[in-house]
Amino acid sequence: MVSDTLTRDEMIALLDWYRAAGVDMAVSEQPVDRFVQSAQLPKSVGSAAQKPAMPQLRPQAPAQGAPQVAATESREASPQMAQELAAKAQTLDELKELLAGFEGCGLKLRATNLVFADGNPQADIMFVGEAPGRDEDLQGKPFVGRSGQLLDRMLAAIGLDRTRVYIANTVPWRPPGNRTPTPAETSVCLPFLYRQIELVAPKVLVTLGGAASSTLFETTTGITRLRGQWRELTIADHTMQAMATLHPAFLLRQPAAKKLVWQDLLSIRAALDAV
């Protein structure tokens, strides 16, 4: 058994690793050693009557308070309901409070914290990413992991820091295992992002990565073709200059692409100087 070979700290570290990978639910209360089962199988498959009977998994009623996978689907609200709720917020604090109490997105079930925003809401420039990762989920702030550290260095290269920018995501809760948010999850969270952009009213908006860019620009064009191009973007009654660039997480995997982002950063600096 695991408990016979691992210390308490090692077991906690293993559970944390499982959680970071998106494994947050057991399928049975008793562990099953599949390796032992495999070793006990006969070498000759033979007929079905000769095969050892495999244990039948029967549906069981979940224990009280246990999470249910099906609940993710049932909690999805309609984008119209989300839009009506988001429209009630007159300030960013009100919007954050409404979002914290919103039960219409199943991602909230497994997230540790709501990741609303970071930075200065009075800033002229706003950055929008896709969804929180593990570090962001734990701290409740966007872009605080390795990609966030790189984003900080990118900002510093053009004379900016988090006191002079505002940062948010299209989805404010971490998807299990850092998977891509589903279209339903994105669409139900989008009205809150639209209202967030409207309340911040940035003069310049920069989308980070393909997911955020395709969502806000409503396009299927790939990020490598979309990046670096300025366009007018209107959210509700607010119009701003907007541009897509590569996500810092992509740059960590493909450092050679940093030269493209450097061109985008210089263009962003020039746009800010012009407003």
Residue 43, pLDDT > 60, answer no
Give φ, ψ of 63 to 5 degrees: -65, 150
For residues 65 and 243, the model is more confident at: 243
Whole-number CA gyration radius for the chain: 23
pLDDT tens for 172-228 read 999 999 999 999 999 999 999 999 999 999 999 999 999 999 999 999 999 999 999
Band (pLDDT 50/70/90 cuts) for residue 50 is very low
Which contacts qualify for 27-36: CB closer than 8 Å, 24 or more apart?
27/57, 28/57, 31/1
- Side-chain-side CA neighbours of 128 within 13 Å: the count stands at 26
Q: What does the mean pLDDT of the chain come to?
A: 84
